[in-house]
Each structure stands twice: as C-alpha cells, then as structure tokens.
Amino acid sequence: MAGRILGRTLATVSLSVALASVTVKSSGPCGIPECRSSFSSCGFHLNSNIMSGSNGAKENSHKKARTSPYPGSKVQRSQVPNEKVGWLVEWQDYNPVEYTAVSVLAGPRWADPQISESNFSPKFNEKDGHVERKSQNGRYEIKNGRPRNPAGRTGLVGRGLLGRWGPNHAADPIITRWKRDKSGNKITHPISGKNILQFVAIKRKDCGEWAIPGGMVDPGEKISATLKREFGEEALNSLQKSSAEKKQLEEQLHKLFSQEHLVIYKGYVDDPRNTDNAWMETEAVNYHDETGEIMDNLTLEAGDDAGKVKWVDISDKLKLYASHAQFIKLVAEKRDAHWSEDSETDCDGL
C-alpha cells in the first residue's frame, strides 16, 4: 500500500443473510486517510435500519456518514435530521454541499474521472471491466447520472476522499487465537467462564486509534488476496522485508489464509467518508489460528499505515476505531468466546 494512494438499499437480502457467518474453505493462496489501508471499514450498525435509507433512519443508523467536518477537511456537511435521511422522504429544500478532495480530482489510478467527463461512462450495478461496481447489498439507484447512497442522505455530494462513484470495496482480516498461559492451556474468564480470544490490532497513524487491519480491494483482485496482502503489509511490515524474508513470510501467510474461515460481515459500512454518491462497503473475514502454531512463527511488526501492532484480548471493554468493536463482537459470538461479564451487554456505543 505504501506509495499506492487511495483517494484509497434498500437491502435486497434480509439482515440475517447479510450478517450470517458462513464457514467456507479458502480458495487460495484522523489525518487525511488517503492511503489504501486507511480505507478499511470505519463502522456499521448491527440492525436492520442501516439499509433503511429509502424509508427513513432511526437515531443510531447511518450516523457516521452525516458527521462534520468531513475527514481531512474543514468542509461542513448540510445537516440531515434523522427523519429526513431516507430518499423516499420528500425534501424539496435539500441542498447538500459538493466536495471531492483535490487528491481524488488529480486523477490517480485508483480514482474514477468526474461524471461530467465525456470519455467516462461507468457501468453502475455491474462489473465494469476490472472495477466492481455491484453493491453487496443489491441494486442502488442512479439519479441524474450519479449513484445514490443506498442508506440515504449524507448532506454532501461528490466523492469526498473516496475514489469510486458508488460502492468502494474494502476487506478486513480479523486474525484470532486463544489466549494461553505459559503451559499452553487456554485461559478462561473468571466470570463468564468462556475462553478468552485475542485478535491482531493495529494503531492507525492517521488518528492514533486501535483498529482492525484492512484496506481497499484492487480492481480485479480477489478478496482473499486483499485480506492476505493487507495483513502482511500492516501487521507484519512485509513491504520492508528482504526477498528471502518475503518468501518465508508468504509461506506462513499461505498456511494462515488457507484455513477454514468465517465471513463475519459483507455489505454497506456507515463511514464518515461516505457521501450521497460514494460509499464504503466491506467484507470482514475471521481467520482463526486454533493451536497458535502459525502465528507463533510470525513476528508482529507494524508497517505501512500502522504505527503499532499487538495482540488484544477480546471483550466489551474494547475501545476501537469507529465501530470495529462490533465486528469483533460477532467473532466472539461465533467462536463462543468471552465477550462480556454481563450477558445482557451489547456493543452499542463502542
């Protein structure tokens, strides 16, 4: 990612499908967050209202995409009250601010041209050459030649820091292991009685918050390749390794990412960089090192956009970037690991 800069619905399926954890076999081998890995998912809401943009939004849905100032700028969005988020809610006086970052308008390879350019005819809602313009949540509406955010109004049109009109696809690798004592025995939480799970977290350089490693999917790239590449670059500093070290690292990563894994979430992300015409979507995938032997042979080393990296115990006490704690909560549930000392506690507000 270093040196490769990224200016980087109505739901047609039920939420139970969108959030279902699917066990599958791997198929193979806040400064201005412009770098590729900075475009890991920035949060979402675990309720059916996140994609209710056409019918209205409740207080906690589609919230981050309405915050001001816009990341990396002094641009203030037009205020959008909760009751007017949905596109089906008539609002004749809606006057969103137009903003696309200079870094995007400069025309880097990761960014689309402006809609107005005569030689640009994007094929929305389908595969457009190597660029995936399909949404993971189904078809989105095109209005006046521009794609419309499926979750509703954001108070800002254009692309902001996002390179693509419409969906901008990211991938988030969640690497976990069981916490063990010096004898190798799993450690259980004294109150919940469940085993404690750990995940690899990075401290972002742009805002100093702890987060899941992750980044953008390159055109034509498989999700599995993105997940492995992003983890290697941010958590193992693969970009700075020698040829021999990279070869050895690749062998270990292949073992890790060839295991059975859980697709934790696929779909729209309530991200502060979203606009009316461009938005983040992600696929969060959990790779679990059951015995710990694979990760024992890998030394964590922060690289690229990560300032620090470490193993973090999973619990509801986590304070992570945006809503990353919600991804982690889903992993804990699917792995039947410790999450909370109070069985009634949920992740709202994390």
Number of neighbouring beta carbons within 10 Å of residue 92: 5
Least confident of 53-57, 97-101, 170-174: 53-57
Helical H segments across 149-268, by residue range = 223-235, 243-257
User: Is 28's pLDDT higher than 90?
Assistant: no
How far apart (Å, rounded) are the C-alpha atoms in residues 231 and 268? Answer: 22
Question: Where residue 283 falls among pLDDT bands split at 50, 70, 90?
Answer: very high
**Cβ neighbours of residue 301 under 8 Å, at least 6 residues apart?**
235, 236, 237, 309
Question: Where residue 304 falls among pLDDT bands split at 50, 70, 90?
Answer: confident
pLDDT in tens, 40-98: 444 443 433 345 444 444 445 688 899 999 999 999 999 999 999 999 999 999 999 99
pLDDT-above-90 percentage for the chain: 69
Q: Scanning the structure block, which residue is given the tokens 């704690």?
A: 325
User: Is 14's pLDDT higher than 80?
Assistant: no
**Cβ neighbours of residue 107 under 8 Å, at least 6 residues apart?**
113
| Backbone dihedral angles phi then psi of residue 279, each to the nearest 5 degrees | -150, 160
CA angle in degrees (0–180, nearest 5) for 330-6-238:
70
How far apart (Å, rounded) are the C-alpha atoms in residues 24 and 39? Answer: 25
Helix (H, G, I), strand (E, B) or coil at 123: coil
pLDDT in tens, 236-247: 999 999 999 999
Residue type, 193: G
Q: How much is the pLDDT for 193? A: 95
Q: How much is the pLDDT for 146? A: 97
Tell me whether strands 166-178 and 278-289 are parallel, antiparallel or unpaired: parallel
Cβ(230)–Cβ(215) below 8 Å:
yes
Q: pTM, whole model, 2 decimals?
A: 0.79
Q: Would you call the peptide bond into 33 cis, given omega within 30 degrees of 0 as the criterion?
A: no
pLDDT-above-70 percentage for the chain: 80
How far apart (Å, rounded) are the C-alpha atoms in residues 214 and 203? Answer: 12
Radius of gyration of the chain (CA): 20
Fold (topology level) of 64-335: Nucleoside Triphosphate Pyrophosphohydrolase (3.90.79)
H/E element, 294: helix 293-296
Cβ(130)–Cβ(220) below 8 Å:
yes
Tell me whether strands 97-100 and 156-160 are parallel, antiparallel or unpaired: parallel
Show the tokens assigned to 189.
């939480």
